[in-house]
Amino acid sequence: MAQWYYAEGPGRNVGPLTTEELAACFRRGQLMLDSQVWREGMAQWQPLRSVAAELGLDATASATAPMPPPLPGAPGHASPRPGAPAIAPAPRGMSRGTIIMIICLAAIIPMLAILGILAAIAIPAYQQYTSRAKLMEPIAAGDALKPLIERHLAEGRCPDNDADGFQPEAAYASPHVAGILVGEFDDGTCGVEVRVRGTGNSRMDDHAIWIFYDGQSRSWGCTSDIEDQLLPERCRG
């Protein structure tokens, strides 16, 4: 049975879920068609839309909003009341259209300044978010090997890429993963080293994420040589 995960936000993956549970999340509105999902066997995270058929979901939706009736005086509507002059006399002084234009400009100019300030704040924050999102694929690839590593640890040894069930380092390559090295770290813990590539960010490409098993606490940890501000919270520090 397929085990699904979906990205709920920066550094937070929800799962594992069955196919039925993932489909139910979509129907409840927890997921959108653009939400990123992953299951074992997929090379990388994909939008829910691309696997909708596999989940038995309808990836198309359309709705036609009713058109409002034409405004009075619009083409095809009733003509002005009888007796009204065909052409109104031109008003003296500033025209009504000019006054409206001045009022609009007075409102728009301060708004443009506010939008510029908001953009200066939001764009760097968005860039950090997208950078962290690109790290979800390497981290998920390392997380996928946890059960197999734990199985070998239960037999009393830390596996490497040549151990049963594992592949050569380069065989794990994907758009954002250069390779995964399995083995024992210098501090005696066991885990994987995931090399990052293809993010377009020099502060992340060619860097490593280490996912390791702590035998004393019997829990998994994550660390990296990438700056904390670009990492999900679980891998910082």
pLDDT digits (tens, 9 = 90+) for 5-41: 998 877 788 888 998 998 899 888 888 999 999 998 8
pLDDT digits (tens, 9 = 90+) for 161-189: 999 999 999 999 999 999 999 999 999 99
Which residues in the chain are classed under CATH 3.30.700.10?
135-235
- Report the candidate in 185, 181, 189, 182 with the shortest Cα–Cα distance to residue 148: 182
Which residues in the chain are classed under CATH 3.30.1490?
4-55
Dihedral through CA 212, CA 217, CA 219, CA 224, nearest 10? Answer: -40
**Is the separation of the CB atoms in 6 and 16 below 8 Å?**
no
Q: What CATH code would you report for 4-55? A: 3.30.1490
What fold, for 135-235?
A: Glycoprotein, Type 4 Pilin (3.30.700)
pTM for this model (two decimals): 0.48
